[in-house]
Amino acid sequence: MEDDTLTPYQQRIAAMANDLAERFAPRANEYDRDGTFPLENYTDLHQSGYLRMIVPKEYGGDGATLFDIVVAQDHLARGDGATAMAVDMTLHLIGRVDALKSWPEPMFARICRSIVEEGALINAAATEPEMGSPSRGGAPATKATPTDGGWLLNGRKIFVSMAPALRYFVISATTPPAEDVPQGTIINAVVQSGSPGLTLEDTWSDALSLRTSGSYDVILENVFVPDEWVLDRQIIGGTQKPKSPMQMAWFNLSLSAVYLGIGQAAHDTIIRYARERVPTALGRPIATLPNIQRRVGDMQVRLTAARKILYDTARVWVAHPESHASMPSHIATAKYLCTNAAVDVSDQALRIAGGFGLTRSLPLERFYRDARAGLTHPPQDDAALELVGRVALGQ
């Protein structure tokens, strides 16, 4: 059941996302089968104005809110979950940085204008083979060595979505110890595509999930970054400021919408199948069978409940900034419900389709695989439930 309280702008971006989803869907299986990167999808995202919506109005964008992005991503992912997940990296990064005003204005303005005018894409490259997810702690093994006018970066990053199409890579790295920082610092450095020493390695196109997301390895060998493109210096071992929930909100709520959209696609596909499938022994559509109806009802309930929590949480985030500090457990709840709904619904769809669901005659096996990627994003289920439980217990 769709939300019937969307504003005219939200209805417009949902319609734009639906149009893009219809274009992406026929391509998705072919790209998934070949493990190739769907560059034409990103051209469509730029030309349609989809990328522009996250950019602040002063730089030529729509200035979309987090709730606006949730609505759009929920609809876009119904056509191609891999593309929706990947482009989300640009959307939630720009949304968060704009909200926190955490980057130098000239740099942020340049990046935003290149998104609007040229369809530029940006993503953080933080995860490393040795460290695992940065959300679990640990300093990056990637090293930043001082040099004239800037830094030289050396290291390897993994799971960098949209890597073949990115204009900007936000690289986390560790600087060497100094007298005032005996353990060094962690920095983020913005590296432009094509920089000497920056190479990509396709380690993802045969992965279980989201094969066409372009989540490649990024290798840095003496990549130069000027001082003015270095951000967010954090002293290792120093007193840390309390983390803002801003990153959690933008990351988790927008990505939850992606996986909810994948689950919705599985639901919609199996409904069409059940209405059209008429076994000769039955003589009527399997949609008339009570067992099928119960399974579809269970799918519908899970998606409706998850969407209600997700949309309400995003609405409260936008409407009540004073509540942000108390919202991490609500955000974790939405993420847990949406990703698990997608997993459960895609599994139910396969059960209904039987053997046909295991073939590529239906996209259900792709939805089933793609939905599982949602479980890997932080907070993973154990951390999400622990957070919710601590809050419930007053801890």
- Per-residue pLDDT at 30 exceeds 50: yes
- Per-residue pLDDT at 2 exceeds 60: no
Cβ contacts of 45 within 8 Å, gap of 6 or more: 20, 51, 83, 87, 119
CA-to-CA separations, 41 to 36, 48, 193, 234, 338, in angstroms, rounded: 12, 10, 19, 36, 25
Where in the sequence of the chain do the CATH 1.20.140.10 domains occur?
246-392
In this prediction, residue 1 carries a pLDDT of 47
- Per-residue pLDDT at 198 exceeds 60: yes
pLDDT digits (tens, 9 = 90+) for 333-389: 999 999 999 999 999 999 999 999 999 999 999 999 999 999 999 999 999 999 999
Distance CA 386, CA 180 (A): 37
In this prediction, residue 232 carries a pLDDT of 82
Where in the sequence of the chain do the CATH 1.10.540.10 domains occur?
8-120
Which CATH class, in words, describes the domain spanning 246-392? mainly alpha
Q: What is the mean pLDDT of the chain?
A: 95
Distance CA 305, CA 1 (A): 10
Q: Identify the weakest region by mean pLDDT among 102-116, 177-191, 216-230, 316-330.
A: 177-191
Q: Between the CA atoms of 7, 9, 11 and 16, what dihedral angle is there, to the nearest 10 degrees?
A: -170
3-state secondary structure of 389: helix
In this prediction, residue 251 carries a pLDDT of 98
Residue 242: pLDDT band (50, 70, 90) is low
The residue-averaged pLDDT of 188-212 equals 97
Where in the sequence of the chain do the CATH 2.40.110.10 domains occur?
125-235
In this prediction, residue 244 carries a pLDDT of 83
Residue 236: pLDDT band (50, 70, 90) is confident
Q: Which CATH number is associated with domain 125-235?
A: 2.40.110.10
Which CATH class, in words, describes the domain spanning 8-120? mainly alpha
The residue-averaged pLDDT of 23-47 equals 96
In this prediction, residue 239 carries a pLDDT of 62
> Does the model's pTM come out above 0.85?
yes
- Per-residue pLDDT at 128 exceeds 50: yes
- Per-residue pLDDT at 289 exceeds 90: yes
